[in-house]
């Protein structure tokens, strides 16, 4: 082919009639992916539980602690791009198995680390391993569910991060309280491990068993047309060029909601320790149960709202429902910061956690229904790359505010109020602007990909 000959992507003209897998099989896969997501968030969030003992042992600041989460998100997002291409072109269940095994191993390495830089390197590895899951899930679920059921499937899958985050605080707080009362653990060549190190060690090990389950899981048949290539150069770029306003408002709107949410959740245990003078283990367990219960309700409520709007003919339902959940989180989080006692604070956390977790099931489910099947994982990876700035910047930016703008024990509450007021409003406005463009993108996708 001449070097200047630009070949157009293959046009799909063959009507596909093959049925989707049985609902029982499809929902079983959702359950397994939910469990994998749950494990990933336990390993991801454990660092937020051991902030103060880690600071004391490693002699580091709030900003450096925040970057242990921030550097995770950088590698999580960057690694997702090549891994998404693998997911769109190779065996997806094996890819997930490798990812789970690797991030679990790296979590245990955090517990063996002896200084800040070793923990930082291990957190990079956790990010790389966890980067396999979301893009691959976007590709897998598109082969198990028809488009109209994908947002609900993703909202249920989204329970994994929420339950995982909640259980991370519950289990992590329990383990931290347990190891605080045990004899020190001494390992050959490593030495004596502090309680926070043992917490990493014990929480990282179970993921290795889950990796074995995905090794034996069968790869499903891909729902692509017989004459379509899996990947044409520039196909992702063409999709973004055809839907610029939709994707810009979606990615950045949910990014800003994500940013305030990660800052709020990451500094929660420190908020109760510093402002309300609670023990870290006790605060972690109570918060974890609230997160796992009320936080898990949010995505289901918003998914049902999206389905209700869809039945009423609103093609912007996914964006509108996510926007409503994110907007309601703003006053709920602000109210927590004015709580006079820890009991009142925990009561106010219930609606705050419900709303802050509510948008992200429909946010993820909104993309596969407008993206061509051949690039679903790569679109998800790009969304992860942009959304990861919420993880990367939320905790360390709030930590910077704690150190430099609002020093003192009460500073953490003012840092969160600042984050919510700025980024929550920005996210809500962008999602509002993205409603009509998204509806247009969905109508075009229905016309173009109705054969799937």
Write the CATH number for 85: 1.20.1250.20
Mean pLDDT over 108-123 rounds to 88
Tell which residue, 5, 33, 411, 416, has the closest CA to residue 217.
33
Q: Say yes or no to pLDDT of 11 above 70.
A: no
Mean pLDDT over 270-292 rounds to 87
User: How high is the pLDDT of residue 179?
Assistant: 66
Mean pLDDT over 382-390 rounds to 82
Higher per-residue confidence, 179 vs 452: 179
Residue 306 located in a structural domain: yes
For residue range 350-367, what is the model confidence (pLDDT) as tens digits?
999 999 988 877 888 888
For residue range 56-90, what is the model confidence (pLDDT) as tens digits?
788 777 777 777 877 887 888 788 878 888 887 88
Q: Say yes or no to pLDDT of 277 above 50.
A: yes
Compute the distance between CA of residue 41 and CA of residue 172 in angstroms, rounded to an integer: 12
Higher per-residue confidence, 143 vs 233: 143
User: How high is the pLDDT of residue 383?
Assistant: 85
Mean pLDDT over 12-20 rounds to 52
Q: Bin 273: left if φ > 0, else alpha if -120 < ψ < 50, else beta.
A: alpha
User: How high is the pLDDT of residue 355?
Assistant: 93
Mean pLDDT over 28-39 rounds to 88
Q: Say yes or no to pLDDT of 225 above 60.
A: no
Query: Which of 130-134, 327-331, 385-389, 431-435 shows the lowest per-residue confidence on average (mean pLDDT)?
Result: 385-389
3 state DSSP class of 146: coil
Per DSSP, what are the bridge partners of residue 193?
Answer: 185
Q: Quick check: 217 and 93 in contact, CB under 8 A?
A: yes
Confidence of residue 226 (pLDDT cuts 50, 70, 90): very low
Higher per-residue confidence, 179 vs 449: 179
Residue 374 located in a structural domain: yes
**DSSP for 157-215?**
HTHHHHHHHHHHHHHHHHHHHHHHTSPPEEETTTEEEPHHHHHHHHHHTTHHHHHHHHH
Residue 229 located in a structural domain: no
- The total number of structural domains that make up the chain: 1
Percent of the chain beyond pLDDT 70?
A: 91
**DSSP for 270-281?**
HHHHHTS---HH
Residue 10 located in a structural domain: no
Mean pLDDT over 271-275 rounds to 90
| Residue 434 token pair | 């993205």
Mean pLDDT over 26-52 rounds to 84
Indicate the burial class of 247 (C-beta count within 10 angstroms; 0-12, 13-18, 19 or more): buried
Cut 0.75: pTM above it: no
Higher per-residue confidence, 333 vs 175: 333
User: How high is the pLDDT of residue 84?
Assistant: 80
Q: Quick check: 361 and 154 in contact, CB under 8 A?
A: yes
Give the distance, in angstroms, between the CA of residue 240 and the centroid of all CA atoms in the same chain: 22
Residue 6 located in a structural domain: no
Confidence of residue 387 (pLDDT cuts 50, 70, 90): confident
User: How high is the pLDDT of residue 188?
Assistant: 78
Mean pLDDT over 140-168 rounds to 77
Mean pLDDT over 215-230 rounds to 65
User: How high is the pLDDT of residue 18?
Assistant: 66
Higher per-residue confidence, 232 vs 212: 212
Percent of the chain beyond pLDDT 90?
A: 25
Confidence of residue 13 (pLDDT cuts 50, 70, 90): very low
Residue 13 located in a structural domain: no
Residue 78 located in a structural domain: yes
Mean per-residue pLDDT over the chain, rounded:
82
User: How high is the pLDDT of residue 128?
Assistant: 93
Q: What is the domain range of residue 371?
A: 23-217+235-449
Higher per-residue confidence, 98 vs 64: 98
For residue range 393-416, what is the model confidence (pLDDT) as tens digits?
888 888 889 888 888 888 889 999
Residue 3 located in a structural domain: no
Give the distance, in angstroms, between the CA of residue 330 and the centroid of all CA atoms in the same chain: 19
Q: Quick check: 37 and 98 in contact, CB under 8 A?
A: no
Tell which residue, 195, 190, 318, 297, has the closest CA to residue 254.
318
Confidence of residue 449 (pLDDT cuts 50, 70, 90): low
């Amino acid at each position: 082919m001449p070097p200047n000959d630009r070949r157009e992507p293959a046009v799909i003209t063959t009507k596909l009639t093959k049925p989707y897998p049985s609902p029982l099989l499809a929902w079983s896969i959702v359950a397994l992916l939910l469990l994998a997501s749950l494990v990933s968030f336990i390993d991801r969030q454990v660092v937020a539980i051991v902030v103060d003992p880690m600071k004391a042992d490693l002699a580091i600041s709030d900003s450096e602690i925040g970057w242990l989460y921030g550097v995770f998100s950088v590698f999580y997002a960057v690694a997702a791009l090549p891994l998404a291409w693998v997911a769109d072109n190779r065996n997806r269940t094996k890819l997930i198995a490798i990812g789970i095994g690797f991030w679990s191993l790296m979590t245990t390495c955090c517990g063996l680390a002896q200084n800040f830089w070793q923990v930082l390197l291990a957190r990079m590895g956790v990010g790389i391993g966890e980067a396999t899951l979301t893009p691959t899930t976007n590709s897998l679920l598109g082969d198990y569910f028809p488009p109209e059921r994908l947002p609900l499937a993703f909202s249920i899958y989204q329970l994994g991060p929420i339950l995982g985050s909640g259980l991370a605080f519950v289990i992590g707080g329990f383990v931290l309280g347990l190891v605080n009362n045990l004899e020190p653990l001494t390992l050959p060549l490593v030495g004596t491990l502090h309680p926070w190190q043992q917490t990493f060690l014990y929480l990282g090990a179970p993921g290795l068993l889950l990796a074995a389950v995905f090794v034996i899981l069968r790869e499903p048949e891909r729902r692509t047309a017989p004459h379509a290539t899996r990947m044409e150069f520039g196909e992702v770029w063409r999709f973004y060029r055809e839907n610029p306003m939709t994707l810009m408002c979606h990615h950045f709107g949910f990014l800003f909601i994500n940013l305030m949410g990660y800052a709020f959740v990451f500094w929660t245990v420190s908020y109760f320790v510093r402002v309300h003078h609670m023990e870290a283990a006790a605060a972690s367990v109570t918060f974890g149960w609230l997160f796992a219960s009320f936080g898990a309700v949010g995505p289901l409520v918003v998914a049902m709202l999206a389905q209700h709007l869809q039945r009423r003919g609103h093609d912007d339902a996914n964006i509108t429902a996510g926007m409503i959940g994110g907007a309601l989180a703003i006053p709920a989080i602000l109210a927590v910061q004015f709580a006079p006692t820890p009991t009142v604070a925990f009561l106010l956390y219930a609606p705050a956690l419900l709303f802050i977790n509510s948008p992200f099931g429909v946010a993820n489910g909104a993309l596969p229904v407008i993206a061509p099947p051949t690039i679903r994982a790569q679109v998800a990876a790009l969304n992860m790359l942009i959304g990861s700035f919420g993880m990367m910047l939320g905790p360390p930016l709030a930590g910077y505010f704690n150190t430099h703008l609002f020093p003192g024990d009460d500073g953490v509450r003012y840092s969160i109020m600042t984050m919510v007021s700025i980024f929550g409003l920005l996210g809500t406005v962008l999602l509002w602007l993205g409603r009509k463009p998204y509806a247009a993108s969905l109508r075009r996708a229905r016309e173009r990909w109705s054969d799937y």
